Structure 1
Amino acid sequence: MTGSSIATSAQGLDVGARRFLHPGPLRWLRASAWMVLMFVAFTLVYAGAGVFATPMFKSGGDLPGVLKVTAVCIAGLALYAGVVRLAEGRWPSELALKQAPLELLTGLAIGAVMLTAVVAGLYLLGVYDISGPRASSPWGTIGMAVESGVMEELITRAIILRLLMRAFGVWPALVLSAALFGALHLSNPNATVVAATAIAVEAGLMLAAFYLLTGRLWVSIGVHAAWNFTQGWVWGAAVSGIAVKESLFVSHPKPGAPEFLSGGAFGPEASLPAMVVGTGVAIVVLYWAWKRGNFRAQPDPIVAAEPQES
């Protein structure tokens, strides 16, 4: 009898190369259609998590609420793994569990340090007032950070960036996914085109860079969640245009401060310090990912014939 063995190279990013994404005619179209279908499905899961997180973010929240949000997010990750296994013929390396604890902790530390550096820059430039500390509950902001960190990274990086990379290559994928990430924030309160552009550049590219560097979502999830939590609860600044109700400190732009420096009502993410910090980190990490060979997809599987058996 005859059989086949599949050989692949470990170099490059695993963006899917089997079943629905198999080599052949119109793979770019199949990858694009698969991206749209996954985007719609997991946006609905994200909305389910928001049922718990949004009220918590406004009212303070509690531990049971955070656990509900976390459960929905874990279910979303499990659903993604199952769908990818069925449709793409692989277990998603982007959700590899062995590296998850260390990479999540690393991402949390990086996100907290980055956002604190942004607030320090705003303070040193003389465009922000900071008061506190005060007694407050962190649970609402934890719920929001978990929700946004997990679901936005799953949708924007594992689905949009990965499948655009499969369809068109890394540079179009980076530009389009970052632009979409910024555009999705236009529906937030106090959003402007400038704020959305800042989000696209400083956060869209930076978070994509960590995914390209590791081939996994965990660092990106940690950075995203810690950025939002540190911005919202620790420093009490608006998070993507949404004013926080509970925070350790209270931070806001000084009256008359130029919006391009302070970010205005949208918050620190639309500020010059955020652009400098986020874009600087993005450039360094993107270069690191390029040096590791992750600016290209893994080669397509090579099917080799096995020896004949008599």
Structure 2
Amino acid sequence: MPHAKNWSRPIDLGDRRILRPGPLRWLRALGWMTALFFLIVLTAYPLTDFLGRQLPDKGVWPFLVHSAGAIVAILAYTIAVWLAEGRRPTELAPRPALLHCAAGLTIGAAVFTAVMTTMIVFGLYEVTLQGPVPAWRAAGLAIEAGVIEEIMVRAVVLRLLWRAFGPWAAFIVSAAVFGASHLGNSDSSLFAAFCIAIEAGVMLGAFYALTGRLWVSIGVHAGWNFTQGYLFGAAVSGNDYGPALAKSVALQDVPAWLTGGTFGPEASLPGLLICAAVGWATVWAAYKRGRFTRPQSASPLSSDLEPLP
């Protein structure tokens, strides 16, 4: 059984080198946030685009391509934090990764299943079984989105805004950024962006705050996307995840705000209400554990990874 410290700990916001205490630390945190965000964008996504053009878009290849982007994002973040912040990123500590990811995948699949079950029971969706099909593409896309987006939005934006302005401003702004980032997707809308900001922005940030690690948030994100795009065959934020076990289509005579329409169930009222409940329950659990009031930098005595000199 893993030691409790490996399951849950305060977020390590960073307090060395570029984030050392002193004048204008908030400004240094914002500058570093911007640089680190674009570092991830400019390393992970160009790699997947390049590999996607060079390799076949069938079989196991899409899984390998998208997984490569996720691995590069982890490596780029780890090296950048090691150099600029003088620490090993405990938010990506390998020891609890398997247990945390398994928990997150289970939670993500369960929450999305609850959303779809609600809409099916109330006659908002038509679901048609299609039979077994390869899951490689959907699994690769889910892993890529889970890893890269959680690093960018939670480990970079939320953490460094927290370092600069405190937890509540960080939650509000990072959730808004995550929602707004989906406005360019197919069939998006302001309501869809609002739903994603509340659902994922709060819920995934809350799991990060509660555990001090990214792995649960990554697992929830990937588990939700895979269940949505592959098991149910619904649109994922306006995107098609390819071959799926079923095909889920929102009824056309029902308002889009109830079903999410062609954007997908994330933009639905049931999705908003269920994910908001899970998210705020997790925020409350983190609050009760003092995650928003205690010092949020790791101590060498409480960490399973020693800080760099």
Q: TM-score, normalised by structure 1?
A: 0.88
> Is 1:34 the equivalent of 2:25?
no
Q: Who is 1:137 aligned against? A: 134
Give distance in 1, aligned partners of 2:227 and 2:235.
11
Of the three residues 155, 160, 170, the one matched with 1:158 is 155
Is 1:78 aligned to 2:78, yes or no?
A: no
- Structure-2 residue corresponding to 1:307: none
List runs of 5+ in structure 2 lacking aligned partners: 1-7, 300-309
- Report the TM-score, using the length of structure 2 for normalisation: 0.89
Match of 2:306 in 1: none
Contact 1:60–1:138 under 8 Å retained in 2: no
**Contact 1:42/1:76 (<8 A) preserved:** yes
Larger radius of gyration: 1
Match of 1:107 in 2: 104
* CA apart distance, 1:67: 2.2
Deviations 1:176-210 (A, max 9, x none): 00000000000100000000000000111000000
Deviations 1:52-103 (A, max 9, x none): 7978xxx974213312322331222122111111111111110111100000
2:48 and 2:65 in contact (8 A); partners too: no
Letter of the structure 2 residue corresponding to residue 21 of structure 1: L
Sequence identity, in percent? 45
1:1-310 equivalences in 2 (<5 Å)? 12-48=10-46, 50-51=48-49, 61-296=58-293, 298=295
Q: Structure 1 240/20 Cα, relative in aligned 2: closer, same or farther at 3 Å?
A: same
Determine the C-alpha separation between the residues in 2 that align with 1:201 and 1:162. 18
Alpha carbons 2:138, 2:242 under 8 Å: kept: no
| 1:255, distance to aligned residue in structure 2 (A) | 2.0
Change (3 A) 1:202 1:53: farther
Query: For the structure 1 residues 88 and 207, does the alpha-carbon distance in structure 2 shift closer, same or farther, using more than 3 Å as the test?
Result: same
* Matched-pair contact (CA < 8 Å) for 1:202–1:275: yes
3-state SS of paired residue (2:248): strand
RMSD of Structure 2 on Structure 1 (CA): 2.2
The answer to whether the 8 A contact 2:202-2:276 is kept is yes
Instruction: Tell me the distance in 2 between the aligned counterparts of 1:300 and 1:236.
Output: 42
Amino acid at match of 1:226: G
Call closer, same or farther: CA 1:12–1:228 in 2, change over 3 Å. closer
How many Å apart are 1:123 and its aligned residue? Answer: 0.5
Contact 2:52–2:65 (8 Å) recurs in 1: no
Q: C-alpha distance in 1, partners of 2:138/2:296?
A: 42
The one-letter amino acid paired with 2:104 is G
Instruction: Give 3-state SS (helix, strand or coil) of 2:144's partner.
Output: helix
SS at match of 1:143: helix
Q: Distance in 2 between matches of 1:44 and 1:297?
A: 35
Q: Deviations over 1:126-180 (max 9, x none)?
A: 1100011323221111111011000000000000000000000000000000000
Secondary structure of 1:266 counterpart: coil
Q: Return closer, same or farther for 1:292/1:25 CA change in 2, 3 Å cut-off.
A: same
Q: Is the 8 A contact 1:14 1:215 kept in 2?
A: yes
Distance in 2 separating the partners of 1:151 and 1:133: 30
Paired AA for residue 38 in structure 1: L
